[in-house]
Amino acid sequence: MSFVSRGFRGRRREDADPSRVPPGQYVTSDFPVLSAGPTPHTPLEDWTFSIVGEVDEPRRWTWEEFRALPSEQVTVDIHCVTKWSKLDTTWEGVSVDTLLDGVETSAEHVVELSDGGYTTNLPLEDVTGGRAWVAFAFDGEPLQPEHGGPARMLVPHLYFWKSAKWVRGLRLTATDEPGFWEVNGYNNYGDPWREQRYWGD
Partner 1 sequence: MAGTAVLGRLTWRVAELVDVVVETPRVKTLVFDVQGWPGHRAGQHVDVRLTAEDGYQAQRSYSIASAPNGTLLELTVELVDDGEVSPYLTDELQAGDRIELRGPVGGYFVWEPAQGGPLLLVAGGSGVAPLMAMIRARDAAESHAETRLLLSSRGWDDVIYRDELERRAGDGLTVVHTLTRSQPPGWTGYTRRVDAEMLAEVVPGPTERPLIYVCGPTPFVETVAEALVGLRHDPQAIKTERFGPTGG
**Chain residues in the site for partner 1 (CB under 8 A):** 1, 3-12, 24-26, 28, 30-40, 82-84, 116-117, 146, 178, 180-185, 188, 197-201
H-helix or E-strand spanning residue 154 = strand 152-154
Q: Please, which residue, 142 or 185, has the CB nearer to partner 1?
A: 185
The count of residues in the chain is: 201
Least gap, CB of 113 to partner 1 (angstroms): 15
Least gap, CB of 194 to partner 1 (angstroms): 12
Q: Please, which residue, 40 or 97, has the CB nearer to partner 1?
A: 40
Least gap, CB of 10 to partner 1 (angstroms): 5
Tell me how far CA of residue 160 lies from CA of 32, 82, 127, 193, in angstroms. Answer: 11, 9, 13, 13
Least gap, CB of 199 to partner 1 (angstroms): 5
Alpha-carbon Rg for the chain, nearest whole angstrom, is 17
In a 3-state reduction of DSSP, which class is residue 126? helix
